[in-house]
Amino acid sequence: MKSKIVKITGISIAVLISVFFILAIPEPTPVIPAAEPTSIAKPFAWNQDVFWDSLESEFFAAMKAGCVIIMYRADYNLFLLEKLIEQIETRQIEPEATELRQIENQIFILGPLVAECDGKVPRYLHLIARMRTALKRQSEKWDINDRLTRETLYRLLYGGRAAAEEVILQIHAIRRPPALQIDNDEHSSTPASNFLGVKIHSGDIFVSRGGAPTSALIARGNDFPGNFSHIALAFVDSSTKSLKIIESHIERGVEISTPEDYFQDKKLRIMVLRLRSNLPSLVEDPLLPHRAAAAMLNRVKSEHIPYDFSMDYNDTTKIFCSEVASTAYRKFGINLWLGLSHISAPGLRRWLADFGVRHFETQEPSDLEYDPQLCVVAEWRDPETLFKDHIDNAATEAMLEMAERGFVLDYKWYMLPAARILKAYCWTLNLFHKEGQIPEGMSAASALKHEFYAALHAKVVDDVQRQVNIYHRYRRINPPSWELLRMARTSLQTQISY
């Protein structure tokens, strides 16, 4: 009897060991097609480190001189910027126009001056908003798939926002401008509802930035690194005027949220986009945006739509966040993302493939801002969380530089069996439309690599924050974005052996 028990025990142990090692078999390495080099698909680089350093030096000089000394210089440069903007408001120009590069230079040169003379900040922000509206109007007649056009839009729209935020972060908290900036209340005939001080129309698109490490990766992981990581579509009931927000979550797929639900997921910034009222489709059918939002709402009510980790915008059986808007409008003849997003850096492609991405010409949230079919209506930037956004960006960019040097996302091999058992349990929960710890559509190995990425990102962010505290103690200002990036690089060098 005793020998029989020993035999059964031995067999059981052998079976468990066999199952463990079977479950520990790694997933095959995803085949990642090489990026085809084209004029449009290549990472953008500012290549202006010397200029950034000169701006930092200029700010220290402005602080030393004081506003009384530099205010006339600030006023003169604001005057020049306004005159340049008037030129692009009153006549059609091309993307290579000299005025556009002059506007870019004035925006950056003014930063250190108005940061010291903070009474000039409202005018400075107003001029950047005017520039953004005028540039969007100009781009209606440009070829969005031309590389020069994309770079011009990026340098001014992204660059203008970056310059404005560097200024905002240097102003004492009690003097900072309000979080809400109204740009352009584009006419719309669709039902509307008030939301945080803005009239939101049915069919409007929310573009936001979350607070998770992967949110920063989505925003920055692009040939044109951006500020946004999430897209949602607004629906306003024509009878009750209640606002619903349709969005796709990694954890739950596509769902209908209330404004309160929408804000439960931390938002570092939000921008509202609206279709131009003079689009031929809207002239013919002014209620088209409302009908598009209603059609998507009804579909979500009638079926479960899982999240699309592959980022295939042509497959609408599964939908990632950008597809909520693009799929809704495509059904009514409007193709959003006239300029598709490209992800061409090899290291970044490898990392995204580890998370399940298989399509690298796709629709990234940040790039929707550059679509000439859309107007920027308003933008919220919470001053209290804006600096976190910048630190997250710096950590992410430093990590992506590491990816291009061959660093891979990894996990402890012996954790894979447990992760696969957990995945089987989560799969069962998904059958009953319940959320599991590992999102539907994400593999066990991808979940472990995501955990590794998030942990490393958190360590870098914490270390950068420590360096920021030292920098602020000695220099009495917040470090600008290029200094944050240097701090993140230093942090990674101490944590990783290349």
pTM of model > 0.85: yes
The pLDDT of residue 185 is: 87
| Residue 343, both tokens | 């992800």
Please report, in tens digits, the pLDDT of each residue of the chain (498 residues total). Answer: 567 666 666 666 776 777 667 777 778 877 776 776 666 788 999 999 899 999 989 999 999 999 999 999 999 999 999 999 999 999 999 999 999 999 999 999 999 999 999 899 999 999 999 999 999 999 999 999 999 999 999 999 999 999 999 999 888 655 667 777 888 889 999 999 998 889 999 999 999 999 889 999 999 999 999 999 999 999 999 999 999 999 999 988 999 999 989 988 888 899 999 999 999 999 999 999 999 999 999 999 999 999 999 999 999 999 999 999 999 999 999 999 999 999 999 999 999 999 999 999 999 999 999 999 999 999 998 777 889 999 999 999 999 999 999 999 989 889 998 998 999 999 898 888 888 899 988 999 999 999 999 999 999 999 999 999 999 888 888 899 999 999 999 999 887 754
- Quote the CA–CA distance of 154 and 271 in Å, as a whole number: 16
Q: Which two tokens stand for residue 224?
A: 């044109």
pLDDT in the model for residue 173: 57
**The pLDDT of residue 384:** 73
Nearest Cα residue to 136 out of 190, 99, 88: 88
**In this structure, are residues 275 and 289 in contact, taking their beta carbons and an 8 Å threshold?**
yes
Cβ atoms within 10 A of the Cβ of 81, count? 23
Residue 232 structure tokens: 């949602």
Residue 498: the pLDDT is: 45
